[in-house]
Structure 1
Amino acid sequence: MGDDSGRPAPSAPRSPSTRPLVEPIPGEPAATAAIGDERALLVADYHAGYEAGLRYERGIDVPSRAADRRDLLCGLLERTRPDRLVVCGDLMHSIGDPGGAERGELEVLFESFAAELAITVVKGNHDGRIETWLADDDEIDVSVAVEPGAGVALGDVGVCHGHTWPAPAVLEREVVVLGHEHPCVRLEDEVGGSRVERAWLRGRLDPAPFRDRTEYEDVSWLEREGASPPRVVVLPAFNDLVGGTWINVAGQSFLSPFLPDGLADGEAYLLDGTRLGPYESV
């Protein structure tokens, strides 16, 4: 997917570098990022307890894949050796407090993490009161920072969930990373068969939908002539059961309030890194 480094952030200039700032892991729904002196692993839309939610909400009985999700994430942590895990929203699935199978899945997951791993969870629309639960659980030994869904600036990377408008500080970073959308592409073969695959979506932020919002009056690049907007990376859903937005199918509504209008030159990539080109024409 190439180098996702972009313009120097006005409030945090950095020396020139040839390293990618955000780099997808080939074949996996995750990316690594350079955050100051730290190396981070970025994921989104883990949706712990999703199978329990299907039973409760829709009456659909699906065997739990909690162990598979945990093994995949722990394997990525072992492989990439990050200083920090960043969850870009929807770590859990229920809207309120986690309970039952969901809470059990999360407790076992957190117990699997190395004690020295720092964790940042940006709240998604499914994360309810997750900060209260994490603060009250004596079984969790790792350091967890819970940030609002509008996001937070981590070094030169702005992370948010995507279900609400980003915080101004997020837009001042070189790259904006979000989840929520669960981007997918529908692919058809020459005999009419089709399949749906998770995808990455990337491009640059289009300033148009942000300019009329008062909270962004001090975001310098929005009004500066010749300024280059940040790059944007929409992460695929970590949980492969949750479906998502078919970004290349006409009439599909995006979930984020600033997409697709806020995305310029948007291109789609498969998890293995295959470049599909402009997402609308895939």
Structure 2
Amino acid sequence: MSRRARVEPVPGEPAAVARTDAERVLVVADYHAGIEAGLRYERGVELESAADVRLARLERLLDQTSPDRLLVLGDLVHRIGPPDGDEVDELVRVVDRVTDRVPMTLVPGNHDGGVADAVAERSLELDVAGSGGVRHGPVGFVHGHTWPASDVLHAEVVCVGHEHPTVRLEDEVGGSRVERAWLRGRVDLSAFEGDVEDASRGQPPELVVVPAFNDRSGGTWVNVEGQSFLSPFLPDALPDGDLYLLDGTRLGHYRRV
């Protein structure tokens, strides 16, 4: 099986299906449950909750892809610290509804510090991995705010969240729009800490940077000069990555779009 066949985006959606040796895994990143409460507290921005809309989108993806597992690439919740109020209510609903259908794994992100305790208190079945990520056969998964575990970098393909990649597109008359996007390319292993040069027996893994599931969470404009990245290993780990829109359109090297 080719590397690209291991992780295939769902057309038109910020989600992918990863084919491990044992399972078909639906992968989403940066769900940010309770973001509206966070925006109200952090910035004084009042937005009607889209919790029901997010959950309906996620359930449609489960219907569409029929996976064996859902894996969230970090930032399942929005608040940095223990979830509370509307945020924990949304978290509980999401985990409860998903795990009624399939097992659910969270690779914790920088916003997920209190998730494990919150779900354990309510006896919910959520598998929480370590912060260095987790590997399922040929596919590694990590949020991206910390350095991946060595085992993750031994995978054929490594899926990363955290970055919320977006692209700014301009037309001939100066109009512009911003769209969520995918980044894919071969990893430059020299960007990582530790001795990982032999991680894939001389063939570096493919890195797939997954767009944010939550369309209110902002993102990194990957094609804008001077834009800083969030991850400690980007953009150095992906010097030659290509950019893809959610509909599958390939735009070429992300720095030259």
Q: State the TM bucket, normalised to the shorter chain.
A: over 0.9
User: Structure 1: which 4+ aligned runs deviate by more than 4 Å?
Assistant: none
Distance between the aligned counterparts of 1:114 and 1:131, measured in 2? 15
Please say if residues 95 and 126 of structure 2, whose CA atoms lie closer than 8 Å, have aligned partners that are also in contact.
no
Distance between the aligned counterparts of 2:131 and 2:174, measured in 1? 40
**Cα RMSD over matched residues?**
1.5
| Superposition pairs of residues 240-279 of structure 1, within 5 angstroms | 240-279=215-254
Residue in structure 2 matched with residue 5 of structure 1 by the alignment: 3
Q: Please list every run of 5 or more consecutive structure 1 residues that lacks an aligned counterpart in the other structure.
A: 7-19
Quote the sequence identity (%). 57
The verdict on how the C-alpha distance between 1:4 and 1:131 changes in structure 2, with shifts beyond 3 A counting, is farther
Please say if residues 4 and 175 of structure 1, whose CA atoms lie closer than 8 Å, have aligned partners that are also in contact.
no
Distance between the aligned counterparts of 2:205 and 2:43, measured in 1? 40
Distance between the aligned counterparts of 1:77 and 1:67, measured in 2? 15
Distance between the aligned counterparts of 1:43 and 1:207, measured in 2? 24
1:78 paired with 2:78, answer no
Deviations 1:205-249 (A, max 9, x none): 102222xx3xx3366247x6xx11000000000000111100000
Please say if residues 185 and 197 of structure 1, whose CA atoms lie closer than 8 Å, have aligned partners that are also in contact.
yes
1:217 paired with 2:204, answer no
The verdict on how the C-alpha distance between 1:119 and 1:257 changes in structure 2, with shifts beyond 3 A counting, is same
Residue in structure 2 matched with residue 197 of structure 1 by the alignment: 179
Match of residue 91, structure 1, among 76, 81, 86:
76
Please say if residues 97 and 128 of structure 1, whose CA atoms lie closer than 8 Å, have aligned partners that are also in contact.
yes
Distance between the aligned counterparts of 1:219 and 1:44, measured in 2? 27
Alignment partner of 1:186: what SS? strand
Residue in structure 2 matched with residue 108 of structure 1 by the alignment: 93
Residue in structure 1 matched with residue 153 of structure 2 by the alignment: 171
Distance between the aligned counterparts of 2:239 and 2:159, measured in 1? 15
Distance between the aligned counterparts of 2:67 and 2:76, measured in 1? 18
Task: State the TM-score, normalizing by the size of structure 1.
Answer: 0.88
Letter of the 1:240 partner, please give it.
D
* Greater displacement, 103-112 / 178-187: 103-112
Alignment partner of 1:169: what SS? helix
Alignment partner of 2:87: what SS? helix
Alpha-carbon shift at residue 113 of structure 1 (Å): 2.2
Please say if residues 190 and 197 of structure 2, whose CA atoms lie closer than 8 Å, have aligned partners that are also in contact.
no
Please say if residues 31 and 76 of structure 2, whose CA atoms lie closer than 8 Å, have aligned partners that are also in contact.
yes
Match of residue 186, structure 1, among 124, 143, 168:
168
Distance between the aligned counterparts of 1:126 and 1:221, measured in 2? 29
Q: Please list every run of 5 or more consecutive structure 2 residues that lacks an aligned counterpart in the other structure.
A: none
Letter of the 1:160 partner, please give it.
V
Please say if residues 31 and 41 of structure 1, whose CA atoms lie closer than 8 Å, have aligned partners that are also in contact.
yes
Deviations 1:67-117 (A, max 9, x none): 110000011011111110000000000111111101111112223225351
Deviations 1:163-203 (A, max 9, x none): 01100000000000010000000000011000000000010
Please say if residues 171 and 219 of structure 1, whose CA atoms lie closer than 8 Å, have aligned partners that are also in contact.
no
Distance between the aligned counterparts of 2:32 and 2:10, measured in 1? 20
Residue in structure 1 matched with residue 104 of structure 2 by the alignment: 119
Distance between the aligned counterparts of 1:25 and 1:198, measured in 2? 14
How many residues are treated as equivalent by the alignment? 257
Alpha-carbon shift at residue 133 of structure 1 (Å): 1.3
| Structure with max Cα Rg | 1
1:41 paired with 2:26, answer yes
Deviations 1:127-146 (A, max 9, x none): 112111111113x3xx3210
Task: State the TM-score, normalizing by the size of structure 2.
Answer: 0.96
